[in-house]
Structure 1
Amino acid sequence: MISYFLRRVLASLPVMLFVAVFVFLLLRLAPGDPAQMILGDQATPEQIAAIREHLGLNDTLSRQFIHWISSVLSGDFGTSLISDRPVIEMIGQRLEPTLALALVAIALTVLISVPLGVLAAWQHGKLVDRAVMVFSVVCFSVPIFVIGYILIGTFAVRMNWFPVQGYRPISAGFGQFAHRVILPALALASIYIALVARMTRASMLEVLREDYVRTARAKGLAEYTVLFRHALRNAAIPILTVIGTGFAMMVSGVVVTETVFNVPGLGRLVVDAVLARDYPLIQAIILLTAGTYVVINLLVDLSYAITDPRIRYQ
């Protein structure tokens, strides 16, 4: 198990190195003067010279990369060009709402989609199966912002069960936190609920045809035990893959949800950074997003070894 973990970690290092090189070259190799791009056409020569000195653009490309990667490895992502604050501090302030929203969304995804997928496979071809598939198609087809506005109009405006917008950290109390995070989490999770439900159904249909499932039923085991203890565990690998990928996409793709529900997370910060051409902040967010994908893929690979002993023994 340890050697498997080490192999997966070593395989992830070249990916992060490639992403780091890409992020570094994103600014340096763009057409035109990077300082001019950041400041705009109205910048004076003195302002352009100051930005070039601040970003180290007067050094050779190799020296710029060595200095930049050394700073990143030490936890220094530079200073925001707009707010003149450390980038790592700005990301730290916005990271908690995004992570909380993504964690609640992935929890809702698992709690809703996996039982739906198992139920659809168990009732294959019947009314329940068709209803689950129709629900999945609808969730796939409707954009997240539309689902968000439907949830706001139904549960916040008409029924007055939840607030329309805003966010409260969990430190303010779990009740206030849950009260404000449920609607955006449901909106964010909608497409992933459909995706995981369909994947669970497809994987379960394959497993339910296996001989060991018929043997378990012939032994008189309860149907719940057959479905969730025997069949679901053997169908888990593709489901875990979709769940892991979905969580990574949630963390990096919450721009629309945070905008609709006015959540002060990374999504809003990305929009502000792009509009302001704040390249140090953009570079740090891209690195963070790539790192999130790498870490989650690593955790998914480890879950394979836990779920399937054949992988662990290899």
Structure 2
Amino acid sequence: MGGTEAARRGGLIGSISTTYHKILLNPSYKYLLLLLGAPVNLVVFLFYLVQRRKDDYTAAENRIRSAMLASGYLEALQAEIAQQQKRKHEFFKQKISEQQLQQEVERIAQARFKEELRDRTTKELLLNNKKRLTMADTFDRLIANPLFFIISLIPGLLMYILIFLYRSPYLKYIVERLAMTILVIFGVAVLVFTILYLSPFNPAANILGETATPEQIAAFNKMHGLDQGYLTQLWNNIKGIAYFDLGKSFSGNEDITNSIARKFPITLTLTVISLIIAIAIALPIGIISATRPNSFFDYTFMFVALIGLSIPNFWQGLILILNFSIKLQWLPATFNPENWLSIVMPVIVLGTGLTASVARMTRSSTLEVIHEDYMITARAKGLGKQTILMKHAVRNAIIPIITVIGLQFGGMMGGSAVTEKVFNISGIGSYIVDKQFIPDIPAIMGGVVYTAITISLVNVIIDILYAFFDPRIRSKMKQY
């Protein structure tokens, strides 16, 4: 039992050491590693300084330096450089004092001497199958001691977490995408706030009305922090978003976090249902069209898809209400969470454009791969048509389809405001539209940023799906 535990711990230590070496060679992560594990790395650096004085490289360097100095190498080098510098200055007709020339010669000679010393020392170590001690080597020696590893766990916890994440290409890939997502969300927050801050609308005047006195407007601005500077307001808004505490809205004095918590799921539900139904319809249509190009089915499906792309959401919604609600009275004209039939028309409106886009992309992407060499090879092997289509054609054609789905999802989240207005849906889209003309800065910031968070997370999922479906991406992840 003890031997197994020791072997397991040894494997862990070896993995940590190997990953530590790799990270130090990666400029993007090197300084992050040193920063997160600053206390541990400081101890390692101090040990490194002590051990470097008596390592093989230092001993060889001292011996070779003494031999070079004893042989008069430095003096000969200085004399050679002095002649070169004199000829150079004479050629360019430059006047230089003897003292300046001597300083110049000394500087160049020392640099060349050090370079030659380094080259000779490195060659000797290579011949003797030795290498120069590095900070990573010192870390290896220290981490091999179980006591040091245990003591360093607390001060170096963040560093070890980074090492753990770096060990797994997939985890590292996901964390990198999440980190970029945070930067994107931060950028969106800054951009949206800046636009609202510079907008000509006056929240106090719009809410209090034309009869408001300057004193009332000033009191309103002070109460909501609008009398503060740009950076102060920006910081307060970003801090509120980070802590999920957006405060009160300017109009209605409602808690913004609770409002978004009520409205955002409605928009997200509509979008996700539309997405699922659209994919379920579009993928088979696109594949059938690709396998039967220039046929009646192909022309019919693509013509319908083109119509779907051309129809504006608001017009389609009004036509559906006119026919199915007013004339036929089959479906309710407005959204009601308690009546599942009320979701049918909004889902159709939101999903029409996505269905058309995905169907067209599926067709073109499948057509592109269906004549590749590996498809011919699969047929030559005698594989069934269904196997070739699903395992080889669709799997290789799925990457651009996933891209379109991800982009369209973002468009649906942003474009849902029109659909929500048409069907009187109290979602995040209509909420932002209602608040933007005040402008109710905290409410708009909350709605836009949390929409951006959702879209960014979907894009992270899309990136992960890339790696899942495409082995080339997985291979690059392991190399990176």
Alignment of 1:23-172 (within 5 A): 23-31=192-200, 35-36=204-205, 39=208, 41-157=210-326, 159-168=328-337, 172=338
Q: Does the 8 Å contact 1:82/1:278 carry over to 2?
A: yes
Between the aligned partners of 2:437 and 2:335, the Cα distance in structure 1 is 22
Alignment of 1:287-306 (within 5 A): 287-306=449-468
Question: Which residue number in structure 1 is paired with residue 390 of structure 2?
Answer: 228
Match of 1:2 among 148, 171, 181: 171
- Return 82-91 or 21-30, whichever deviates more: 21-30
Secondary structure of the 1:71 match is: helix
User: Structure 1, residues 29-62: CA drift from partner, whole Å, max 9, x if none?
Assistant: 3358664466454421122112221232333433
Q: Counterpart amino acid of 1:237?
A: I
Residues 27, 34 of structure 1: 8 Å contact kept: no
Q: Secondary structure at the match of 1:221?
A: coil
Q: Does 1:268 align with 2:430?
A: yes
CA distance in 1, matches of 2:208, 2:363: 53
**Whole-angstrom distance in 2 between the partners of 1:109 and 1:132:** 14
In structure 1, distance between residues paired with 2:222 and 2:450: 25
Distance 1:223 1:164, change over 3 A: farther
Alignment correspondent of 2:133: none
Deviation at 1:21, TM superposition (A): 1.6
- Structure-2 residue corresponding to 1:256: 418
Aligned residue in 2 for 1:15:
184
The answer on whether the counterparts of 2:206 and 2:438 sit within 8 Å (CA) in structure 1 is no
* Count of residue pairs brought into register by the alignment: 307
Question: Quick one: distance in 2 between partners of 1:229 and 1:159?
Answer: 45
Identity %, equivalent residues: 38
Task: Assess if the C-alpha contact under 8 Å between 1:213 and 1:230 holds in 2.
Answer: yes
Q: Measured at CA, do residues 165 and 57 of structure 1 come closer, stay the same or move farther in structure 2, by a change above 3 Å?
A: closer
> Within the alignment, does 1:198 sit opposite 2:360 as a pair?
yes
Note the residue ranges of structure 1 that are not aligned, 5 or more in a row. none
Task: Output the TM-score relative to the length of structure 1.
Answer: 0.89
How far residue 242 of structure 1 moved from its aligned partner, in angstroms, is 0.7
Amino acid at match of 1:133: M
Quote the offset at 1:269 in angstroms.
Answer: 1.4
**Deviation larger for 233-242 or 66-75:** 66-75
* CA spacing shift, 1:186–1:34, aligned 2, 3 Å: closer
Paired AA for residue 202 in structure 1: S
Preserved CA contact (<8 Å) 1:38 1:277: no
Question: Which residue of 185, 194, 202 maps to 2:347?
Answer: 185
- Cα displacement (A) at 1:122: 0.6
Supply the distance in 1 between the matched residues of 2:406 and 2:308 (Cα, whole angstroms): 19
* 2: CA distance, partners of 1:32 / 1:111: 44
Q: Deviations over 1:248-300 (max 9, x none)?
A: 22122112212222222122212321344322211211212222222221111
Provide structure 2 residue ranges, at least 5 long, that are not aligned to the other structure. Answer: 1-169
Please tell me whether residue 237 in structure 1 is matched to residue 396 in structure 2: no
Is contact 1:151–1:183 with CA below 8 Å preserved after alignment?
Answer: yes
